[in-house]
Structure 1
């Protein structure tokens, strides 16, 4: 089955398309992609839905390596409101 693994970068993103056997998990996809070798991701998702390394995949899934937030969303809104 074909799986895409995506990791956001400061400027753009990096994507790898893999062919994995049936029954593969999110952890298998991350390991096979080589994208998780740097700093540990803040989380994992499949098409934007939080997942764990044990989550099974189906053909066509997109695994996302999530990055930590740069700014708390509430704080970002306060900053924008203060500028008005």
Structure 2
């Protein structure tokens, strides 16, 4: 009996470089497993492997709570999220301070 497979994509982007890797994976593959299969460390050698193996993941813009357990469906696009460089709350506070001092 043949193992059924799914076509999925894994996406990752830096400000200057983006890649979407199309894969055919066995049914039952998790989001984290698909990222491992996509070979992103070879496509982004400037980043440590942990940037992919420990990254937050999502499907079509919706963050996954447990990417190690989330089983993929046909056509899913797994997105690998980069860590934030600055906390959004801190950024808003800084903008508010600059606006207040400029008035």
TM-score band by shorter chain is 0.7 to 0.9
Question: Which of 24, 31, 53 is matched with 2:29 structurally?
Answer: 24
Give the secondary structure class of the aligned counterpart of 1:44.
strand
Structure 1: distance between partners of 2:57 and 2:96: 31
Give RMSD over aligned pairs: 1.8
- State how many pairs are aligned: 84
Give the secondary structure class of the aligned counterpart of 1:20.
strand
Tell me the equivalent position of 1:45: 58
Which one has more relative contact order, counting CA pairs under 8 Å at least 6 apart?
Answer: 1
Q: Which runs of 4+ in 1 moved over 4 A?
A: none
Bigger Rg over Cα? 2
Tell me the equivalent position of 2:12: 7
User: Higher mean Cα deviation, 24-33 or 69-78?
Assistant: 24-33
CA contact (8 A) 1:30 1:36 kept: no
TM-score by length of 1: 0.82
Q: 5+ unaligned residues in a row in structure 1: which ranges?
A: none
TM-score by length of 2: 0.69
